[in-house]
């Protein structure tokens, strides 16, 4: 398994100039090769491969117009061509249906204002033992903050500059997953807006909601940026302030999601989550900002990745499962309920339910775990037919096996 380890670096003023030159050369090489491929496609010719583009780059370095490409390391320039070739490969596989997920768009031209990156292979950088510096070709020794130890020797290093003018170095290393000891615990998670997550054991976790807390400052600095003249120094200062605020909001959210997902993975053997249509829910103009501030999709991705690394069982149930309509005690389905109804009483067994806790328990039941099986060893179903049968005369053992074990 390959993982990325990212660290913050602090280059000097001279090194920042060399990095800017390197980023500009990588961007020019990528855009020039992309324009050449698009022109070949318009003429009806076959797309040039990476070898042909590499030979063309060597010829461009000998011309007077592009001779400054030879002033930087050749390794990141060649990697830019490989990135373009990989982007086209992903696009073609997506068009043919050979790639999972959403459709991938064709590669686009890189811009100066977006994140800049340059990748070095193992012969383009050097790590010093017991040192706070790393050597990059034609840049020199750069100070690194080693926030954690590298598990192995990296195969590549990517130099990154974000829109907030922060510099990072990202390593790709081989990682052997170490499974955590099994504890037999299981949890169902119901995601929400008021409470970010409600666990099947009754615990509710609040979200920091960084965007909501910084909304006034964000609006004020956006107004300042819109009033500045384009191309001026003051506009660049205002843009940098706004980018740093966006970076702070993103870092706060990522820190919360990483800590919460790590805690859940360590404490539970099986994690069950509900499949949410986040893109569809974002179309609601009244809730879109609140939903985007939570980061539900990022949280699911973290749980999936960390469960593979730690040997945990991660399950996702169908989004159409009526978890909020079904009583977690007797299985009676009481019908659809409005969002403002946070507590309700089951008409069949008379037990009062918290909406989110009841949904979390039903999510765990729908996951098909061994402790959620009925007396005959079959899975407890939350479908409309089964719940209607159980609502007439709910079996005694079902109430004990589900409610007593999962409350």
Catalytic residues: 190, 274, 356
312: left (phi over 0), alpha (psi -120 to 50) or beta: beta
Q: Are 387 and 332 in contact (CB under 8 A)?
A: yes
CA distance 84 to 111: 15
CA distance 55 to 296: 45
DSSP string, 43-84: TTPPPP-HHHHHHHHHHHHTSSSSGGGGGS-HHHHHHHHHHH
Distance of CA 58 to the CA centre of its chain: 37
CA distance 120 to 159: 8
Dihedral angle at the C-alpha atoms of 108, 114, 115, 119, nearest 10 degrees? 40
CA distance 251 to 164: 12
Q: In which residue are the tokens 């949890």 written?
A: 187
Q: Which of 307, 291, 330, 314 is nearest to 364 (CA)?
A: 314
Q: Are 253 and 208 in contact (CB under 8 A)?
A: yes
């Amino acid at each position: 398994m390959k993982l990325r380890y990212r660290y913050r670096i602090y280059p000097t003023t001279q090194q920042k100039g060399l990095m800017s030159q390197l980023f500009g050369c990588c961007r020019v090489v990528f855009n020039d090769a992309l324009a050449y491929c698009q022109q070949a496609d318009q003429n009806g010719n076959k797309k040039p491969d990476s070898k042909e583009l590499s030979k063309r780059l060597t010829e461009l370095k000998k011309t007077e117009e592009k001779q400054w490409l030879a002033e930087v390391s050749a390794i990141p320039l060649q990697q830019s061509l490989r990135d373009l070739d990989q982007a086209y490969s992903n696009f073609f596989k997506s068009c043919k249906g050979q790639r999972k997920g959403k459709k991938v768009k064709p590669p686009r031209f890189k811009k100066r204002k977006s994140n800049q990156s340059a990748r070095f292979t193992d012969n383009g950088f050097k790590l010093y033992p017991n040192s706070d510096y790393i050597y990059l070709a034609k840049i020199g020794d750069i100070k690194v903050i080693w926030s954690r130890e590298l598990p192995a020797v990296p195969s590549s290093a990517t130099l990154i500059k974000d829109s907030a003018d922060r510099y990072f170095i990202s390593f790709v290393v081989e990682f052997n997953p170490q499974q955590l000891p099994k504890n037999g615990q299981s949890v169902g998670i119901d995601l929400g807006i008021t409470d970010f997550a409600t666990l099947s054991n009754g615990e509710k976790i609040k979200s920091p909601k960084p965007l909501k807390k910084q909304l006034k400052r964000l609006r004020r600095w956006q107004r300042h940026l819109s009033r500045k003249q384009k191309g001026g120094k003051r506009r660049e200062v205002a843009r940098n302030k706004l980018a740093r605020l966006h970076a702070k909001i993103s870092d706060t959210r990522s820190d919360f999601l990483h800590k919460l997902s790590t805690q859940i993975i360590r404490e539970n053997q099986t994690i069950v989550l509900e499949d949410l249509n986040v893109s569809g829910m974002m179309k609601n103009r009244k809730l879109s900002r609140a939903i985007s501030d939570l980061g539900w999709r990022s949280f699911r991705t973290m749980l999936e990745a960390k469960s593979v690394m730690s040997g945990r069982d991660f399950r996702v149930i169908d989004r159409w499962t009526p978890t909020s309509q079904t009583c977690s005690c007797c299985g009676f389905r009481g019908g659809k309920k409005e969002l403002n109804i946070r507590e309700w009483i089951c008409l069949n067994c008379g037990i009062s339910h918290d909406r989110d806790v009841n949904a979390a328990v039903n999510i765990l039941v729908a996951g098909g775990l061994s402790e959620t099986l009925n007396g005959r060893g079959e899975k407890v179903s939350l479908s409309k037919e089964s719940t209607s049968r159980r609502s007439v005369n709910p079996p005694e053992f079902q109430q004990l096996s589900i409610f007593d074990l999962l409350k």
